[in-house]
Structure 1
Amino acid sequence: MRDTEPAMKSSIAESSPPQPRWTHVALPVAEVERSVDWYTAFTPLVPVAVFEDDTGRTAWLSNEGQVTDPFVLVLVTFHDDRGTRHPLLAPFAHIGIEMPQRQHVDDIAEQARQAGCLRMEPADIPYPVGYVCMITDPDGNTLEFSHGQQVYTQIRHTKARPTQERWGTPAPFTSSAKAS
């Protein structure tokens, strides 16, 4: 993995989102390299950036080619915590990955079973969950692989309709912080 910080710094002003966006989920990990290897073996995620400074090492992973609506999984090893597991997404909290075919869930389950990280065997769960299995990463975080959950389809379908029709009248954003 290579450090991508210099290229990133030069383009910050020209690449800021036009409005607030949900862009990432960050997880502390015991060993960044081990976690990147695990995530690239078990998920469709690929490394898109790597950073290192005096406090630690960070890797960003995303779906390959996901540039229109960027979203990354940030994996961070702080030097002082290197080697220490910090499972945050357990027992139910999880990262969800929707698979295009039911067989893909079975394939991941078999791969995880052989690697000793299968948390929940594939099962049909009533709507809106679908056919799912759960596995754990090297730090004990849970990932859910699903088919038929339709998060991808539902959200893409709502994109074609006007905002009020999709979500109702939005509530005004207010901050609980008081100006001083």
Structure 2
Amino acid sequence: MLSEPRWTHVALPSSDLDASVDWYTTFTPLEVVARHADDDGQNAWLSHPGATDRPFVLVLVMFNAERGRPQPQLAPFAHLGIEVPTREDVDEVARRGAEAGCLHWEARQLPAPVGYVCALTDPDGNVIEFSHDQGVYAAVAERWGSPS
């Protein structure tokens, strides 16, 4: 039960919901939690498996009237970030993104606190950053303590 306000989701428009869901479930650790549809369109909620304590959801939304039309996007610098456990994970996602034609930033080491990063673009051109050693979780744990 919700006992306090919480950051829960980010919503992005999609021109092809199935293509977007396929891209996110292929290149990120996210999985579909739920799908909804009504007369105006469809959406899909994606999250980390097992994230029940403080879930965070990516909501992909396709409005029927906009289907197949280019959608607004996070660009050129705005992006969503995913932290991965190793540098090799960044290299692997960069390799896979290059093969799929969606590599946006080559893997590279940047000054702290950014760390080792690459980025891909989703089917609508949104930038998704993959980082190692960025320290987001460490900074939160330092500020408020580790989860029990």
- The partner residue of 1:91 within 69, 76, 82 is 76
2:122 match: 137
1:58 match: 43
- CA distance in 2 between counterparts of 1:124 and 1:111 reads 19
Aligned-residue sequence identity (percent) comes to 54
Quote how far apart the aligned CAs of 1:157 are.
Answer: 2.8
1:29 match: 14
- Write out per-residue CA displacement over residues 7-28 of structure 1, whole angstroms, 9 at most, x where no aligned residue: xxxxxxxx4x211111000000
Quote how far apart the aligned CAs of 1:35 are.
Answer: 0.5
Cα RMSD between the aligned structures? 1.1
Identify the structure with the greater strand proportion.
Answer: 2
Quote how far apart the aligned CAs of 1:154 are.
Answer: 1.4
TM-score computed with the length of structure 2 as normaliser: 0.95
1:82 match: 67
> Does residue 123 of the first structure (1) align with residue 108 of the second (2)?
yes
Equivalent residue letter for 1:35: S
> Does residue 146 of the first structure (1) align with residue 144 of the second (2)?
no
Q: Would you say how many aligned residue pairs link Structure 1 and Structure 2? A: 146
Bigger RCO of structures 1 and 2 (CA < 8 A, at least 6 apart): 2
TM-score computed with the length of structure 1 as normaliser: 0.79
Give every structure 1 segment of 4 or more consecutive aligned residues whose post-TM-superposition deviation is greater than 4 Å: none
Unaligned runs of 5+ in 1: 1-14, 162-180
- CA distance in 2 between counterparts of 1:159 and 1:112 reads 35
- CA distance in 1 between counterparts of 2:141 and 2:50 reads 17
Unaligned runs of 5+ in 2: none
- CA distance in 1 between counterparts of 2:19 and 2:145 reads 40
Greater Cα radius of gyration, structure 1 or 2 = 1
1:167 match: none
- CA distance in 1 between counterparts of 2:45 and 2:141 reads 24
